Structure 1
Amino acid sequence: MIWNRAVKIFCLLGLLAALAACGSSAPEQTAGTGGTLRAQVVSLNEQSFPQFADFPGSVVSAREVQVASRLMGYVEKLPVHEGMSVKAGELLLALDPNDVRAGIRQAQAALAKAESVLTDAAANYERFLALYQQKAVPQQQFQQVEMGYKVAQGDRAAAVAALEQARAQLAYVEVRAPFAAVVVNKFIDVGQLVAPGQPLMTLQSAGALQVQVQVSQQAYDQLQLGQALAVTLNGRGGAEQIVQASVARLVAAADPMTHSHTVKLDLPPESDAVAGDFVRVKVSIGEDKGMLIPLAAVERRAGIDGVFVLDADGRATFRMLRLGRVTADRVVVLSGLVAGDKLIINAEGDLYNGALIEKVQG
């Protein structure tokens, strides 16, 4: 009985061993021969690469003015409205001209009076000149008459100038667009009394647009007039548009609060931007050194970024990485790799820890 039980146990153990042998799989094999993976191997070295920083900015009109009047008066005509496009020389507003015309009439009357006085003074001067030449009047009396004549001449000249000025004021009754523009803001209405220099409306030039951005001192030092910078626009429909804008103005004086500099860029005509749009401007802030690897070599395993490197035994080893900025098809490695590491790329199969690597030429 005991013998039979021992035989059964022995047979059972043998069966389990056989099943285990059948269930075990051979080592993973992929492309290549002899259970190896064919792949390229790249020896890593530190490289110099440019550093960039993004600065927020906004789209502004290349030319913006606050329209004001040179006269005081009541607004009589206001043919424009906000958002309206106007041509150069087009009427923006007109003031009531009655006060100006009254000033012209007053100046005309003053001129007529000055001319009448001058006529009498001239006749008196001619008479006293003849008497003085005949020594019929004393020199002092003649000089008084002569002085009166010269004063009358001066008064007439002043009256002429006053009339010209009064007539010139009539031209200022109408305020016209200095250039082709869009009316952005309007601060007055018909019937309102306006004063000289008071802002009446804001005009922005039509078409030409610029980007205005505040950059750090480090970025400012890298810029020069005419330099092209990448500007990311929030295009119509939410799609981003990247355009090249040229540096048009560099303001040397820094903001005392933020220590940043104002930079203006000319946008190309083909951009979809409109005034007020938010943009991002990429500016070089110098160079740095580090490890750059192909972005395609990075794998994500269990939520961890890493790459496979070749160890001393010629096998693949997964190395965890901390990654930085992506530049085109490469990425900066902040930690996890050192110069001399051998990076495995373009493997002809799925890489795994311990895989034997057969190096091939790229």
Structure 2
Amino acid sequence: MQINIQATEQIYDAGKHGAERRKARTRDALQSDEVMTEANIGPTTAEVTSPAAAPPLPSNANALMVPAVVKVVPKSEPPEPKPKRRLWLWALAGVVAIMVGVLGYFQPWVAAVTEVTVETAALGPVSRVLAVNGRIAGERSVDVRPQVSGTLVSVPVAEGDAVQLGEVVAQIDPATQQAAVRQAMAGLDAAQVAEADAQAEHARNKALGSNVARVVLESSARAVQSSAQEVARTTALLDQAQIQLRNYTIHAPLSGNVLVLTAEPGQLVDPANELMTIADLEHLVVETDVDESYATQVKVGQPAALQLSGETAVLDGHVSFVSQKVDEATGGLEVKLTADAPLQAPIGLTVTANITVDERAAAITVPRAAIVRDANGTGVLLLDEGKAVRRDVMLIDWPAARLIVTDGLVAGDVVIGDATGIADGKAVKVKP
């Protein structure tokens, strides 16, 4: 078979030039795909197609391989989303925050001005008062107890009854003691008879004079002396028995009222049992305890203002009794207050009392909240040219809202009323 060489060369040249053009287009497509990939368009895939521009080879030509055209097409997957705008906003916010922090660090600190209340120190009359609570009690009150043991046979009084001094309020069965009295009386009678016989015998011996031996006379004299001693002994026994018998009858130790009654007929009692309490209700007092911290401040005669529970009226009174011993168990000092006018109130009623322990014609006082206590001692804060200025003071510490300043302040000083949380030198201004 004869081949047309010239035609074949033309075909080859045409195919060669077409292939070169297709290669150039492929490179351009690949570069474009890379650019698109860098622009986050997305990955691509390569699709191989036959060259459309290449003419078919003649059938009689040798099999000449023509390069295939490679076409790059985008992948069907959706492109990766672009960064959202909020990322840019977050970045901007971070920059702003850093700038604010830097400015805050280098900006000078401006201290806040605290508003305060103030008062001007002034001299005036001052009373130091101790507030206590007490209860109404009888000026005299006695717990009645038996002095002997036995069975109660009668209790002729009731709770609340008025009784007079010496009135019978209880009776213990006296039968046993009555027998003891009779026995003592018999012993005394026998002693008295023996004494009389001894005296008669001694008298006869003395009358015989020298006819009686001296020894006999001395013996009769000793018998008289011994019998007299026996009479004295038995007399004492009788007295003791009679006294003991009287103890079986219990009498009121004072005039007053029976406040508490625990005794009942048939009850077996002894000196440890409290039968009743009798109090003098004609003279009432207020019984209270003062803490030992103020024990040396309270004295008889100091004025006291009394207010009974449930009443609005305030009664004048005074300290009428101060114990000389502090109760070691409670740390309290017993104090009694007496109203200047007779009280009409039930026993046990609560009374609020203010005892005036100190009065001064002229003194400076400050609120308790104005006091500053620290390592430097005790002081107050004064308002001076817009600042709180500390000043040491001496005062009388007392359970009251205002305290007496004895040194450190003068009339006219402007004192900050509440020093809580305010440091020395802090900028302050008066609260409108």
Match of 1:241, SS state, is: coil
User: Tell me, which stretches of 5 or more residues in structure 1 are unaligned?
Assistant: 1-42, 293-323, 327-336, 342-352, 355-362
Q: Counterparts of 1:56 and 1:99 in 2: how far apart (Å)?
A: 50
Percent identity between the two aligned chains: 25
1:245 and 2:317 aligned: yes
User: What CA deviation, in whole Å up to 9, does each residue of 1:95-133 have, x standing for no partner?
Assistant: 2232232222212221221122122212221233334x3
Q: Is the 8 A contact 1:214 1:262 kept in 2?
A: yes
Q: Counterparts of 1:106 and 1:163 in 2: how far apart (Å)?
A: 8
1:157 and 2:229 aligned: no
The structure with the larger Rg is 2
1:47 and 2:114 aligned: no
Q: Is the 8 A contact 1:45 1:339 kept in 2?
A: yes
Aligned CA distance change for structure 1 residues 123 and 256 (closer, same or farther; 3 Å): closer
Question: Aligned-residue CA RMSD in angstroms?
Answer: 3.1
User: What CA deviation, in whole Å up to 9, does each residue of 1:182-234 have, x standing for no partner?
Assistant: 21222321122223464322111122111122224564444332222112211
Q: Counterparts of 2:338 and 2:233 in 1: how far apart (Å)?
A: 50
Q: Is the 8 A contact 1:78 1:189 kept in 2?
A: yes
For 2:284, which of 209, 220, 229 is the aligned residue?
A: 209
One-letter amino acid of the counterpart of residue 353, structure 2: V
Higher RCO structure, 1 or 2 (CA under 8 Å, sep 6+): 1
One-letter amino acid of the counterpart of residue 101, structure 1: Q
Q: Counterparts of 2:250 and 2:171 in 1: how far apart (Å)?
A: 6
Q: Is the 8 A contact 1:208 1:269 kept in 2?
A: no
User: What CA deviation, in whole Å up to 9, does each residue of 1:75-105 have, x standing for no partner?
Assistant: 1111112222222232201122322322222
Match of 1:280, SS state, is: strand
Q: Counterparts of 2:242 and 2:129 in 1: how far apart (Å)?
A: 60
What is the TM-score normalised by the length of structure 1?
A: 0.61
Q: Is the 8 A contact 1:110 1:159 kept in 2?
A: yes
User: What CA deviation, in whole Å up to 9, does each residue of 1:120-153 have, x standing for no partner?
Assistant: 212221233334x31531x334322221121111
Q: Equivalent residue for 1:329? A: none
Q: Is the 8 A contact 1:45 1:340 kept in 2?
A: yes
For 2:174, which of 97, 121, 126 is the aligned residue?
A: 97
Q: Is the 8 A contact 1:87 1:181 kept in 2?
A: yes
Aligned positions, number: 255
Q: Equivalent residue for 1:73? A: 150
Match of 2:314, SS state, is: strand
Give 1:266 deviation, angstroms. Answer: 1.3
For 1:278, which of 350, 356, 359 is the aligned residue?
A: 350
Q: Equivalent residue for 1:24? A: none
Matches within 5 A, 1:179-190: 179-190=254-265
Q: Counterparts of 1:174 and 1:258 in 2: how far apart (Å)?
A: 38
Q: Is the 8 A contact 1:72 1:196 kept in 2?
A: yes
Match of 1:140, SS state, is: helix
Q: Counterparts of 1:279 and 1:228 in 2: how far apart (Å)?
A: 15
Match of 1:252, SS state, is: strand
Q: Equivalent residue for 2:268? A: 193
Aligned CA distance change for structure 1 residues 270 and 150 (closer, same or farther; 3 Å): closer
For 1:108, which of 185, 188, 193 is the aligned residue?
A: 185
Q: Equivalent residue for 1:128? A: 205
Match of 2:265, SS state, is: coil
User: Tell me, which stretches of 5 or more residues in structure 2 are unaligned?
Assistant: 1-118, 368-399, 403-410, 416-430
Match of 1:153, SS state, is: helix
Give 1:180 deviation, angstroms. Answer: 1.7
Q: Equivalent residue for 1:171? A: 246
Aligned CA distance change for structure 1 residues 136 and 51 (closer, same or farther; 3 Å): closer
What is the TM-score normalised by the length of structure 2?
A: 0.52
Aligned CA distance change for structure 1 residues 240 and 174 (closer, same or farther; 3 Å): same
Matches within 5 A, 1:340-355: none
Q: Counterparts of 1:78 and 1:125 in 2: how far apart (Å)?
A: 55
Give 1:62 deviation, angstroms. Answer: 0.8
Q: Counterparts of 1:56 and 1:161 in 2: how far apart (Å)?
A: 52
Higher strand share: 1
Q: Equivalent residue for 2:328? A: 256
Match of 2:325, SS state, is: coil
User: What CA deviation, in whole Å up to 9, does each residue of 1:252-280 have, x standing for no partner?
Assistant: 33333554422111134443432111122
